[in-house]
A and B are shown apart, each in its own frame.
Chain A
Amino acid sequence: MATAASVGLALLITLAMFLVLGAPIAVGVGLSSIVGMFMILPLEQGLLTAGQRMFTGMNSFSLLAIPFFVLAGVIMNNGGIAQRLINCAKVLSGRLPGSLAHTNIVANMLFGSISGSAVAAAAAMGSTMTDQQEKAGYKREFSAAVNIASAPTGMLIPPSNLMIVYSLASGGTSIAALFLGGYLPGVIWGLGCMIVAFFIAKKLGYKSEGKITWKVKFRYIWEAIPSLLLIVIVIGGILVGFFTATEGSAVAVVYSLLLSFIYRTVKIKDLPQILLESTKITCVVSFLIGISSIMSWVMSFTNIPALIAELLTSLTDSKIIILLIINVLLLIVGCFMDPTPAVLIFAPILLPIVTQLGIHPVHFGIIMVLNLSIGTITPPVGPVLFVGTKVAKLKLESVIKPLMPFFAVVIIVLIATTYIPEISMLIPKLAGLVK
């Protein structure tokens, strides 16, 4: 165990140093893994193994879903699909006080149900919705907070790139089951935001929008159907086993491309640019995945997860307290780190601990994704927070206070999802994907 402890400590300290310095996380993880390798293997074997793990870490068919969902998302962003979803959300969010805020929340959830990225949702919705709300007399800070707080629902509502990453990092948890497990927590998160927005809007006297005629309602919904049909085809196809998540994501690409050609919002000559943009987003995530598999190999080789499990369970054997510790840890990690590297680093360590406590890998996946989704809207490092304030043309400090009540409700959702397994497991169970 001395080996595990010293290698583990070396990984932790060197990684912390590289991250504080501001090196790319990929480089930091890679170099600290190399340090670990040198502690356990001769030079040549260590480097060979590092190279091999990096390559094979990316050589997975289920990982291919990531470039395809990213590409489908970029195509849809270019394809004017966002505005159609906003219109559809207007019909759905009805005539509540502060109805434009509710429209924003519902639109974020709809966008999330066809895209895997929360940052894309925050950017697409925020840029149009904040201005509309200002015209209606809403405070910009409030509208920005609503948009930021509800954008991460897209990481829980499938498809979700982060769940694909978790599936891989956890040794092959069913992607279909994870996808289904995300629906309820994602929707509850969205509803929680709507409740907060309702009371604030009532207090500040924000009115509902004027009545929309049935004819317009019908047109809005009609126009959104082709976009929303994507959910049925892709998620439905994956669920009935018609195709795998990866094949489903390729279908999503072809479908969104056809739709954008029909809407004439994408032309053939735009494709290289779209592919290049998608390449960059994909490669940031996947490069990291490859490098993280070097680190998880070093940890397996030296039995570090077993050591940490032993440490944690020697402190307490209460399931409630261990889950609490893990949640606090993940929330702190999420404050500083992007969700992808956090999942890659912590899933292999934490999953063996919680499965010993009888927690299902799907349930734990949802807990991790939920925690790290919260991290995307917390300072100091929050990609959704940054993008959301940027498109609202506000200063970061000014949205923190209006975000507070939303944080409170999201933490309640987190606690509920952690301690009530049914919230994550009910739908996968009903679909027969989990026993």
Chain B
Amino acid sequence: ACGSSDKTGTSEGDSKGETQVLKIAFNQTEQHPQYKAMVEFGKSFEEKTNGKYKVEIFPNELLGAQRETVELVQSGTIAMSIVAGPLMENLNPDFAVFNLPYIFNSLDHQMSIINNPDIVSDLYASLEKERITVAAALHGGVRNVYNSEKPIQKPEDLKGMKIRIMESDTNVQMMERMGGTGTPMGQGEVYTAIQSGVLEGGENNELVFNDLKHVEIAPYYSYTQHLMIPDYLIINAELLAGMSEEDQKIFKEELSKAVDSEVEMFNKEVERAKAEAEAAGAKFNEVDLKAFQQAVQPLIDEKTSANENTKKLYEKIVENAQ
């Protein structure tokens, strides 16, 4: 039997048969577009399967941090989880290519790749021996640099600036090539660190920039667009395989709708965040994108020549560039 069935929750199900509760772990708040998209998905999936499945989403790391929820999906304790790209690298290094800087040159470019079965089906099925299937990839925003001193236009402008980055060797090298110094730090300490001058800035999407009030201490937000890291909805492989063909079809269709509406909602949120940040004194500016892309290209070349799979994926990404 499948582990995700709710042993005690069946009483509230409909009379026709057992309701299977699919629990999804999520690390952010109920306001996040990904949360809202999964709620939409849950509603329509429940409807179209006549209540055979019910989706319950646990936000705010209630069921554990992302890495830990991967294990819970593997064991079938929970059905699904949304995890960040870098975490997938630790399960299969081939995922790294989508997390490289300047790998996608636009949102449309990213969306044309990450859910394209011709490109990703092998990759997304590669974790089945670990009892995981990637059900979908979700847009997770575009990361840009912001700082407390001045608008950034070209790599030289970042010289001498300590910018908070996510903890990874690639990110350290990326920030070095972009002109600054990358400093990994917990997100909770970034505000005071910029305030006290330990850091000059950070890099993140507009939502985080505004919601964490970093606009108050680092108002210069420059569209370097260096990272566009997808998030992945992973599902217990046996659970997915155990669904009837009909249900699997509905599952994929509804999920694909949710992926698209998530992008729309994300863009709306970005507009809202931008307006709020501007009202709070943020200064947004465009940058010399070519200069940054060229500066980082050697890093991309190095990382994409790591193995055959990665090389092939990279070629397909370049072919699809718009």
A and B touching (C-beta < 8 Å)? yes
Interface residue ranges of B136-190 to A (CB < 8 Å) = 186, 188-189
Of the candidates A2, A6, A240, A244, the one whose C-beta lies within 8 Å of that of B186 is A244
Tell me how many residues of B have a C-beta within 8 Å of chain A. 31
Which A residues touch B77, using CB under 8 A? 41, 45, 48-49
A398 to chain B, nearest CB (A): 47
B179 to chain A, nearest CB (A): 24
CB of A176 closer than 8 Å to a CB of B: yes
A348 to chain B, nearest CB (A): 9
Contact B198 A242 (CB under 8 A): yes
CB of A39 closer than 8 Å to a CB of B: yes
In the bound complex, how far is the Cα of B186 from the Cα of A3, in angstroms? 37
CB of B115 closer than 8 Å to a CB of A: no
As a 0/1 sequence over residues 78 to 114 of chain A, the CB contacts with chain B under 8 angstroms (1 = contact) are: 0000000000000000000000000000000000000
Given contacts A48-B75, A241-B198, A301-B23, 16 further A-B contacts (CB under 8 A): A2-B8, A3-B9, A40-B6, A40-B7, A41-B3, A45-B77, A53-B64, A56-B68, A174-B188, A176-B192, A240-B192, A240-B196, A241-B195, A242-B196, A242-B198, A244-B189
Which B residues touch A42, using CB under 8 A? 3, 7
In the bound complex, how far is the Cα of B11 from the Cα of A40, in angstroms? 14
**Mostly helix, strand, loop or mixed at chain A's interface?**
helix
Which B residues touch A40, using CB under 8 A? 6-8
Query: Which segment, of B55-63, B102-110, B116-124, B237-245, faces chain A?
Result: B55-63
Which B residues touch A2, using CB under 8 A? 8, 11-12
Chain A residues touching B, range: 20 to 34
Interface residue ranges of A1-49 to B (CB < 8 Å) = 2-3, 6, 39-42, 44-45, 48-49
Of the candidates A41, A49, A172, A300, the one whose C-beta lies within 8 Å of that of B188 is A172
Which B residues touch A313, using CB under 8 A? none
Of the candidates B11, B23, B61, B189, the one whose C-beta lies within 8 Å of that of A171 is B61
In the bound complex, how far is the Cα of B217 from the Cα of A435, in angstroms? 14
Contact B3 A56 (CB under 8 A): no
As a 0/1 sequence over residues 71 to 88 of chain B, the CB contacts with chain A under 8 angstroms (1 = contact) are: 110011100000000000
In the bound complex, how far is the Cα of B212 from the Cα of A300, in angstroms? 25
CB of B213 closer than 8 Å to a CB of A: yes
Chain A residue at minimal CB-CB distance from B74: A48
CB of B65 closer than 8 Å to a CB of A: yes
Which A residues touch B191, using CB under 8 A? 241
Which B residues touch A41, using CB under 8 A? 3, 7, 77
